[in-house]
């Protein structure tokens, strides 16, 4: 039986771009270029390594996002994933982590899975909680923030991995099906080859909307969100800063500056 690996990948606004809130205080995603969240490339890489070691495996990449999120899926397909699922619906606008995790759970169940692999956090929301909420919604074990991950025994087997903390490294394991998240220490993500980029153009991308997942508009989007941005103020432009020239009194001036700013 084939090992079914689903990788959750997020299309995020480019952090080097000039990002703004829209009038409804959601992130203005039309106004800035996006890309596959770099932290999710590690998840794709681990999925591909697991698939390469397994006798028989299939890697599906899954995203919840706008039309342009297809770019993130294409990148993951060009790295070597087999197929993609894109959940796109106008009513998703403004979904928070509760809405996004609900949609992902439904899509994962519809796709079929033995293991779901996610990144440690997205590079825009950076909550780092989605994999845990997803596991809870699916009713399966979660093994999160792994810097090393292995699957043994195929679809009915187990996932093992190492989680490195400040004080200790833990060796963890869980029976499949399970949700896993991997850190940026899990191993460099591969670059798509020219052959991979060409092959990705022919790989299947399934599009789903809320009705395909038996979800109602009010369960997601701004209406279904548990959190909302009440107000936002643009950060003032950076000022030139203070330069302390050491002409004998440099140390004193530095200390006075730091004390004035209440740093010391």
Ligand X SMILES: Cc1cc2nc3c(=O)[nH]c(=O)nc-3n(C[C@H](O)[C@H](O)[C@H](O)COP(=O)(O)OP(=O)(O)OC[C@H]3O[C@@H](n4cnc5c(N)ncnc54)[C@H](O)[C@@H]3O)c2cc1C
- Binding footprint of ligand X on the chain (CB under 6 A): 8-10, 26, 29, 37, 39-40, 43, 63-66, 92-97, 100, 104, 118-119, 121-122, 124-131, 227
CA distance 121 to 39: 7
CB of 80 to ligand X, least distance (A): 17
Torsion, CA 66, CA 144, CA 81, CA 69, rounded to 10:
10
Kindly list the distances between the CA atom of residue 139 and the CA atoms of 63, 197, 211, 220, in Å, as whole numbers in the listed order.
20, 36, 23, 20
CB of 230 to ligand X, least distance (A): 12
Which CB atom, from 71 or from 244, has the smaller least distance to ligand X? 71
CA distance 147 to 141: 18
CA distance 236 to 130: 31
Which CB atom, from 65 or from 192, has the smaller least distance to ligand X? 65
CB of 12 to ligand X, least distance (A): 8
CB of 157 to ligand X, least distance (A): 22
Residue nearest to ligand X (CB): 125
Which CB atom, from 126 or from 259, has the smaller least distance to ligand X? 126
The residue behind tokens 């899975």 is 113
Which CB atom, from 54 or from 64, has the smaller least distance to ligand X? 64
């Amino acid at each position: 039986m084939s090992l079914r690996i689903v990788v959750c990948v997020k299309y995020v606004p480019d952090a080097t771009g000039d990002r703004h809130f829209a009038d409804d205080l959601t992130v203005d995603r039309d106004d800035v270029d996006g890309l596959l969240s770099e932290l999710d490339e590690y998840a794709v890489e681990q999925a591909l390594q697991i698939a390469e070691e397994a006798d028989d495996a299939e890697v599906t990449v899954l995203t919840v996002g706008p039309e342009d999120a297809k770019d993130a899926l294409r990148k993951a397909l060009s790295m070597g994933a087999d197929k993609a699922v894109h959940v796109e619906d106008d009513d998703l606008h403004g979904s928070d982590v509760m809405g996004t995790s609900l949609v992902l759970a439904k899509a994962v169940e519809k796709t079929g899975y033995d293991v779901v692999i996610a990144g440690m956090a997205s590079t825009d929301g950076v909550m780092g909680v989605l994999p845990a909420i997803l596991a809870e919604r699916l009713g399966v074990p979660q093994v999160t923030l792994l810097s090393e991950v292995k699957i043994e025994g195929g679809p009915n087997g187990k996932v093992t991995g190492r989680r490195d903390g400040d004080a200790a490294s833990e060796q963890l394991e869980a029976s499949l099906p399970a949700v896993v998240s991997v850190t940026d220490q899990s191993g460099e993500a591969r670059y798509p080859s020219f052959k991979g980029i060409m092959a990705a153009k022919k790989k299947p991308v399934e599009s789903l909307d809320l009705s395909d997942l038996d979800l109602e508009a009010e369960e997601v989007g701004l209406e279904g969100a548990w959190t909302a941005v009440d107000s936002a103020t643009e950060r003032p432009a950076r000022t030139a800063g203070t330069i302390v020239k050491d002409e004998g009194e440099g140390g004193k001036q530095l200390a006075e500056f730091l004390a004035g700013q209440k740093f010391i």
